[in-house]
Amino acid sequence: MGYVLAVWGEFVNFIGGRSGVIHFVLFAAALVCCFFLGKWERRRLFFPAALVLVFFFNPFFYKYVGMRFLSGVYWRLLWMLPSSFVLAYTVVKLSYRLKKDAWRIGVVAVACVVIAVTGKPIFSGETYTERENVYELPGAAIEIADFVELWMTDWKETMIVPNELLCSIRQYSASACLLYGRNAEGFIADIGEDEAKVYQEMSSETPDVELITEIARNKNCRFIVFNTSFHQIPEDLSEYGYWRATVIDDVYAVYCRTEG
């Protein structure tokens, strides 16, 4: 039952709310229609999609394959569902069974309106923003990586950064290594116990600075970056062996380990 609930949670996260439910119901209805439309539709549309659904909602497949090889990305199996194609094909196929062109146009128009109204615009501020630079990455990530490279004592430096910068810094610089990446959120592979502790603290508004700096020293992390608009920490961390080297965008405080 635990795996059944886990699979259902993956599905709910994939469809993403009310509009996702409506569109998936429309797809399911179109898929059922494909079963009755004819042999061609059953072989090329219905059965492949049904096979994907059988595997996805199978708790044993999730336990032995999903958890081992698809941890954190199990929902991507649903990418194999030809949702848009099945919907478009079914609407057009059924509309052409009508004798009058006016009725055909009306059915297609109504279907398009229903999909558009119940959906969510992708060209919005939530999904598209004006780029800050040619790298199409947050400017703070670039400035932090450049600053760290100026203080490098080897070909790379290991650092700890706020969660929102985990991906962007590594996309910009291979020299600015991280104690943990987005795998801390369950992608691809698990992280070590110490790394998990630091990630948990960096996810908190009131992180345990003593714990973070202790693990950072043991892991040879010379740089720690805090988001001062989120993290409530003392400005002076010298008692923990780190000094405030710079502040990026008036938000990200970069601390460097005190030598010796």
Please give the pLDDT value at position 118. 82
CA distance 90 to 53: 19
Please give the pLDDT value at position 182. 78
Q: Helix axis angle, 209-218 relative to 193-202, nearest 10°? A: 140
Instruction: Work out the end-to-end distance of the chain between its first and last CA atoms, rounded to an integer number of angstroms.
Output: 54
Same domain, 201 and 234: yes
Same domain, 113 and 175: no
Q: pLDDT tens digits for 200-221?
A: 999 999 999 999 999 999 999 9
Mean pLDDT calculated for residue range 12-16: 85
How distant, in Å, are the alpha carbons of 14, 51, 188, 218 from that of 11? 5, 16, 19, 40
Could you give the number of structural domains in the chain?
Answer: 2
- Domain membership of residue 239 (yes or no) is yes
Same domain, 50 and 145: no
Same domain, 199 and 231: yes
Mean pLDDT calculated for residue range 115-130: 78
Mean pLDDT calculated for residue range 2-28: 87
- Domain membership of residue 126 (yes or no) is no
Same domain, 214 and 111: no
Q: pLDDT tens digits for 220-256?
A: 999 999 999 999 999 899 999 999 999 999 999 999 9
- Domain membership of residue 129 (yes or no) is no
Please give the pLDDT value at position 191. 79
Mean pLDDT calculated for residue range 27-55: 94
- Domain membership of residue 155 (yes or no) is yes
175 pLDDT higher than 90: no
% the chain with pLDDT above 90:
52
For residues 231 and 198, the answer to whether their CB atoms sit within 8 Å is no
Helix (H, G, I), strand (E, B) or coil at 257: strand
Q: pLDDT tens digits for 48-93?
A: 999 999 999 999 999 988 888 887 788 899 999 999 999 999 999 9
189 pLDDT higher than 80: no
Domain around 178: 139-257
Same domain, 110 and 143: no
Same domain, 101 and 44: yes
pTM to 2 decimals?
0.65
Same domain, 49 and 103: yes
CA distance 100 to 169: 59
How distant, in Å, are the alpha carbons of 35, 66, 172 from that of 32? 5, 27, 47
Listed residues 84, 118, 152: the one ending a domain: 118
Listed residues 68, 89, 118: the one ending a domain: 118
Same domain, 111 and 188: no
For residues 172 and 143, the answer to whether their CB atoms sit within 8 Å is no
Same domain, 113 and 146: no
Same domain, 150 and 251: yes
Same domain, 144 and 233: yes
